[in-house]
Structure 1
Amino acid sequence: MNTIEPESLKLTKGTLGELCPIAKTLDVIGTKWTFLIIRDLLLDDTLRFSQLLRSLEGISPKTLALRLRELENQDIVARKVYPEVPPRVEYSLTEKGRRLEGIFIELKRFGLSLD
């Protein structure tokens, strides 16, 4: 894991031919549904697919499954399957996913300042 202390980071433009770290982040979490999935998992810790589906009014089951798989592939969300009948599947944020909380708090702070 490549971590950089916040005080040593400066906002810069990307290098030609390389994807900027901000652009990479937005590629992963930049969609409306992805952001809201992460928000709900930050608030509730662990949720089942059906709970997320109810919470995210308007999302289709196919889109939710796709977004969860993308987040799992990026090690932002962990998927735990319990050996029960019917199978129970729960989703929670990984440590990497939890590191997004500060970004979400700042977005909320900014959103509260908008008219």
Structure 2
Amino acid sequence: MSRTKPTRRSACPISYALDFFGDKWTLLVVRDLMFGGKRRYGEFLNSDEAIATNILADRLAKLENAGIIRKSADPQTRARNVYRLTDKGLDLIPVMLELVVWGAKYDPQTGAPMAFIRRYKTDRENVVKEIRDRLAKN
């Protein structure tokens, strides 16, 4: 598990973002934190995509080292950890919502609720604020 900063290929902001999110597992962990209410290691393992334990551990460490999530002791069972999005992670809400909209538009088998998609398209600012406020409380 590499904990070093990735080498920059260029000053391109897309390239920079892909250094963190250039694989599906990283964004799926963020998705589970943001929309799935998952906070504990075992909860991430129960996602439909069946992430392997070594990949999950690596992605959690990568996101923590990047300042996108923070880990703390679980108040219910101090032997376990809980994960939360930081402000930097919460700033990904609009990006993730745009991915949801794009995926729902082009995936005929989408699981995204169409009422939510319609609401987001007409009231982006308030939807982002509601999600951010909900996550900031957790």
Measured at CA, do residues 95 and 45 of structure 1 come closer, stay the same or move farther in structure 2, by a change above 3 Å? Answer: farther
Residue identity matched to 2:50? G
Q: Aligned equivalents of 2:15 and 2:63: distance in 1? A: 16
Q: Indicate yes or no: 2:32 matched with 1:35.
A: no
Q: Which residue, out of 13, 20, 37, partners 1:21?
A: 13
**Structure 1 Cα separation of the partners of residues 100 and 13 of structure 2:** 22
Shift of 1:88: 1.7
Aligned position for 2:57:
65
Distance 1:36 1:86, change over 3 A: same
Give the letter for the 1:113 counterpart.
K
* SS of the residue 2:15 aligns to: helix
Could you tell me the TM-score, scaled by structure 2's length? 0.64
**TM superposition shift of 1:111:** 1.6
The structure where helix makes up a greater share of residues is: 2
Q: Which residue of 1 aligns with 2:95?
A: 103
State the alpha-carbon separation in 2 of the partners of residues 52 and 25 from structure 1.
22
Alignment match of 2:82 (pick from 68, 75, 90) = 90
Partner secondary structure for residue 19 of structure 1: coil
C-alpha RMSD over aligned residues: 2.1
**Identity of paired residues, percent?**
38
Instruction: Report the number of matched residues.
Output: 99
Gaps of 5+ in 1: 1-16
CA contact (8 A) 2:38 2:44 kept: no
C-alpha contact (below 8 Å) 1:36/1:56 kept by paired residues: no
Aligned pair partner of 1:78 in 57, 70, 73: 70
Q: Which residue does 1:113 correspond to in 2?
A: 105
Unaligned runs of 5+ in 2: 1-8, 108-138
Contact 1:45–1:92 under 8 Å retained in 2: no
